[in-house]
Protein backbone atom coordinates (compact mmCIF):
# COMPACT_ATOMS: atom_id res chain seq x y z
CA UNK A 1 0.00 0.00 0.00
CA UNK A 2 1.36 3.38 -0.97
CA UNK A 3 0.98 6.25 1.46
CA UNK A 4 0.92 9.95 0.66
CA UNK A 5 3.36 11.31 3.17
CA UNK A 6 5.50 13.19 0.67
CA UNK A 7 2.94 15.52 -0.96
CA UNK A 8 0.83 16.02 2.14
CA UNK A 9 3.79 16.59 4.43
CA UNK A 10 5.03 19.29 2.07
CA UNK A 11 1.67 21.04 2.20
CA UNK A 12 1.55 20.91 5.96
CA UNK A 13 5.14 22.08 6.32
CA UNK A 14 4.37 25.05 4.13
CA UNK A 15 1.32 25.72 6.29
CA UNK A 16 3.61 25.70 9.33
CA UNK A 17 3.38 22.69 11.60
CA UNK A 18 4.01 23.77 15.17
CA UNK A 19 3.07 22.82 18.67
CA UNK A 20 0.57 25.39 19.83
CA UNK A 21 1.84 27.33 22.80
CA UNK A 22 -0.21 27.11 25.95
CA UNK A 23 -1.96 23.85 25.06
CA UNK A 24 -5.31 23.14 23.47
CA UNK A 25 -7.27 21.67 26.34
CA UNK A 26 -11.03 21.75 25.77
CA UNK A 27 -11.90 21.33 29.44
CA UNK A 28 -11.88 23.92 32.22
CA UNK A 29 -10.16 21.43 34.51
CA UNK A 30 -7.31 21.03 32.04
CA UNK A 31 -6.48 24.71 31.66
CA UNK A 32 -9.11 26.33 29.43
CA UNK A 33 -12.18 27.93 30.97
CA UNK A 34 -15.63 27.24 29.59
CA UNK A 35 -15.89 30.89 28.56
CA UNK A 36 -12.57 30.78 26.74
CA UNK A 37 -13.47 27.57 24.99
CA UNK A 38 -16.82 28.95 23.84
CA UNK A 39 -15.11 32.04 22.48
CA UNK A 40 -12.56 29.90 20.65
CA UNK A 41 -15.18 27.62 19.10
CA UNK A 42 -17.50 30.44 18.09
CA UNK A 43 -14.70 32.15 16.15
CA UNK A 44 -13.58 29.01 14.28
CA UNK A 45 -14.80 26.57 11.67
CA UNK A 46 -15.16 22.93 12.64
CA UNK A 47 -14.30 19.64 10.96
CA UNK A 48 -15.59 16.35 12.38
CA UNK A 49 -13.42 13.33 11.58
CA UNK A 50 -12.88 9.76 12.71
CA UNK A 51 -9.76 7.77 11.93
CA UNK A 52 -9.47 5.08 14.58
CA UNK A 53 -8.89 5.81 18.27
CA UNK A 54 -9.71 9.45 18.95
CA UNK A 55 -6.66 9.75 21.20
CA UNK A 56 -4.47 9.41 18.09
CA UNK A 57 -6.41 11.79 15.88
CA UNK A 58 -6.65 14.39 18.64
CA UNK A 59 -2.89 14.30 19.25
CA UNK A 60 -2.18 14.86 15.55
CA UNK A 61 -4.42 17.87 15.08
CA UNK A 62 -3.43 19.50 18.34
CA UNK A 63 0.01 20.02 16.78
CA UNK A 64 -1.14 21.84 13.66
CA UNK A 65 -0.82 25.58 13.18
CA UNK A 66 -4.25 27.16 12.78
CA UNK A 67 -6.05 24.55 14.89
CA UNK A 68 -7.58 26.26 17.91
CA UNK A 69 -8.90 23.26 19.82
CA UNK A 70 -9.69 19.59 19.39
CA UNK A 71 -12.52 17.79 21.20
CA UNK A 72 -12.85 14.00 21.32
CA UNK A 73 -16.30 12.49 21.15
CA UNK A 74 -18.80 10.20 19.46
CA UNK A 75 -20.91 10.64 16.32
CA UNK A 76 -22.58 8.71 13.55
CA UNK A 77 -24.69 6.45 15.74
CA UNK A 78 -28.26 6.28 16.94
CA UNK A 79 -28.06 6.37 20.75
CA UNK A 80 -28.32 9.63 22.64
CA UNK A 81 -25.57 10.47 25.14
CA UNK A 82 -23.57 7.27 24.72
CA UNK A 83 -20.87 6.32 27.19
CA UNK A 84 -17.41 5.16 26.18
CA UNK A 85 -18.24 1.62 27.29
CA UNK A 86 -21.38 1.60 25.15
CA UNK A 87 -19.55 2.90 22.09
CA UNK A 88 -16.80 0.31 22.57
CA UNK A 89 -19.41 -2.46 22.63
CA UNK A 90 -20.32 -1.57 19.05
CA UNK A 91 -24.01 -1.44 19.94
CA UNK A 92 -24.59 2.31 19.49
CA UNK A 93 -23.37 2.72 15.92
CA UNK A 94 -21.16 5.63 16.93
CA UNK A 95 -17.58 6.15 15.80
CA UNK A 96 -14.84 7.67 17.90
CA UNK A 97 -14.33 11.09 16.31
CA UNK A 98 -12.80 14.48 16.96
CA UNK A 99 -14.11 17.93 16.28
CA UNK A 100 -11.29 20.12 15.02
CA UNK A 101 -11.86 23.86 15.50
CA UNK A 102 -9.64 25.74 13.08
CA UNK A 103 -8.95 29.21 11.75
CA UNK A 104 -9.65 29.10 7.99
CA UNK A 105 -7.36 32.08 7.47
CA UNK A 106 -4.44 29.92 8.63
CA UNK A 107 -5.43 26.43 7.49
CA UNK A 108 -8.19 25.42 5.10
CA UNK A 109 -10.71 22.60 5.43
CA UNK A 110 -9.02 20.99 2.45
CA UNK A 111 -5.68 20.98 4.31
CA UNK A 112 -7.39 19.50 7.36
CA UNK A 113 -8.56 16.68 5.07
CA UNK A 114 -5.11 16.28 3.49
CA UNK A 115 -3.70 15.53 6.90
CA UNK A 116 -6.61 13.21 7.67
CA UNK A 117 -5.69 10.87 4.81
CA UNK A 118 -2.07 10.96 5.91
CA UNK A 119 -2.74 10.37 9.63
CA UNK A 120 -4.50 7.00 9.35
CA UNK A 121 -5.13 4.13 6.95
CA UNK A 122 -8.46 4.83 5.20
CA UNK A 123 -8.38 1.49 3.36
CA UNK A 124 -8.97 -0.79 6.37
CA UNK A 125 -12.63 -1.39 7.16
CA UNK A 126 -13.63 -0.86 10.78
CA UNK A 127 -10.10 -1.01 12.13
CA UNK A 128 -6.84 0.86 12.66
CA UNK A 129 -4.02 -1.45 13.55
CA UNK A 130 -4.97 -3.48 16.61
CA UNK A 131 -8.09 -1.35 17.23
CA UNK A 132 -10.95 -3.30 15.68
CA UNK A 133 -14.66 -2.49 15.55
CA UNK A 134 -17.13 -0.17 13.86
CA UNK A 135 -16.30 2.50 16.43
CA UNK A 136 -12.86 2.76 14.80
CA UNK A 137 -14.13 3.22 11.25
CA UNK A 138 -12.80 5.92 8.97
CA UNK A 139 -15.42 8.63 8.66
CA UNK A 140 -15.89 12.28 7.68
CA UNK A 141 -19.02 13.98 9.00
CA UNK A 142 -19.82 17.15 7.11
CA UNK A 143 -21.89 20.04 8.44
CA UNK A 144 -22.54 21.86 5.16
CA UNK A 145 -22.89 21.18 1.46
CA UNK A 146 -19.55 22.90 0.90
CA UNK A 147 -17.86 20.47 3.30
CA UNK A 148 -19.54 17.50 1.65
CA UNK A 149 -18.31 18.58 -1.78
CA UNK A 150 -14.80 19.20 -0.47
CA UNK A 151 -14.73 15.83 1.31
CA UNK A 152 -15.84 13.92 -1.80
CA UNK A 153 -13.26 15.71 -3.93
CA UNK A 154 -10.50 15.14 -1.37
CA UNK A 155 -11.36 11.45 -1.10
CA UNK A 156 -11.19 11.03 -4.87
CA UNK A 157 -7.80 12.74 -5.00
CA UNK A 158 -6.44 10.71 -2.07
CA UNK A 159 -7.54 7.46 -3.69
CA UNK A 160 -4.85 7.85 -6.35
CA UNK A 161 -2.16 7.44 -3.67
CA UNK A 162 -3.39 4.13 -2.25
CA UNK A 163 -3.19 0.65 -3.73
CA UNK A 164 -6.37 -0.45 -1.96
CA UNK A 165 -9.80 1.22 -2.15
CA UNK A 166 -10.61 3.90 0.43
CA UNK A 167 -13.50 2.81 2.66
CA UNK A 168 -14.02 6.13 4.44
CA UNK A 169 -17.66 7.06 5.01
CA UNK A 170 -18.77 10.59 4.17
CA UNK A 171 -22.03 11.35 5.97
CA UNK A 172 -23.89 14.35 7.34
CA UNK A 173 -23.23 15.20 10.97
CA UNK A 174 -26.36 15.02 13.10
CA UNK A 175 -25.24 15.09 16.72
CA UNK A 176 -21.78 15.15 18.29
CA UNK A 177 -21.46 13.87 21.85
CA UNK A 178 -18.39 15.01 23.76
CA UNK A 179 -16.46 12.14 25.31
CA UNK A 180 -15.75 11.84 29.00
CA UNK A 181 -13.26 14.24 30.53
CA UNK A 182 -10.44 11.72 30.87
CA UNK A 183 -10.39 11.23 27.08
CA UNK A 184 -9.70 14.88 26.36
CA UNK A 185 -6.04 15.78 25.71
CA UNK A 186 -5.24 12.16 26.44
CA UNK A 187 -1.75 12.11 24.96
CA UNK A 188 -0.79 15.40 26.62
CA UNK A 189 -1.98 14.17 29.99
CA UNK A 190 -0.66 10.59 29.68
CA UNK A 191 2.48 10.75 27.52
CA UNK A 192 4.04 7.65 29.09
CA UNK A 193 0.97 5.41 29.03
CA UNK A 194 1.47 2.27 26.97
CA UNK A 195 -0.84 3.27 24.12
CA UNK A 196 0.78 6.67 23.90
CA UNK A 197 4.28 5.21 23.88
CA UNK A 198 3.73 2.45 21.35
CA UNK A 199 0.97 3.81 19.11
CA UNK A 200 0.54 7.58 19.30
CA UNK A 201 4.16 8.73 19.60
CA UNK A 202 5.38 6.67 16.60
CA UNK A 203 2.50 8.09 14.54
CA UNK A 204 3.43 11.64 15.49
CA UNK A 205 7.08 10.97 14.69
CA UNK A 206 6.20 9.47 11.31
CA UNK A 207 4.19 12.60 10.47
CA UNK A 208 7.06 14.84 11.60
CA UNK A 209 5.02 16.28 14.46
CA UNK A 210 7.27 15.10 17.28
CA UNK A 211 10.97 14.37 17.48
Catalytically annotated residues: 53
Residue closest to 51 by CA, chosen among 172, 167, 149, 151? 167
Q: Which secondary-structure segment (H or E) carries 110?
A: helix 109-119
Q: In angstroms, what CA-CA distances link 158 with 117, 152, 164?
A: 7, 10, 11
Cα(188)–Cα(185) distance, rounded to whole angstroms? 5
Buried b (16+ CB within 10 A) or exposed e, 133-151: ebbbbbbbbbbeeebbebb
Q: In angstroms, what CA-CA distances link 35 with 31, 32, 77, 211?
A: 12, 8, 29, 33
Cβ contact 143:171 at 8 Å:
no
DSSP E strand stretches across the chain: 45-51, 67-75, 95-102, 127-128, 131-132, 138-142, 169-172, 177-178
Cβ contact 67:102 at 8 Å:
yes
Amino acid sequence: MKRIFAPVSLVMLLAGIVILLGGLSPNPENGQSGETRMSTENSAEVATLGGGCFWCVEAVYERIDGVKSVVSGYAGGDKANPTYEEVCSGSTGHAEVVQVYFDPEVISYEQILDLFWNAHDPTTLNRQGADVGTQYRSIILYNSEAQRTAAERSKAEAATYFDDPIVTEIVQLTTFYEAEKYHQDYYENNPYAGYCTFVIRPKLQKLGLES
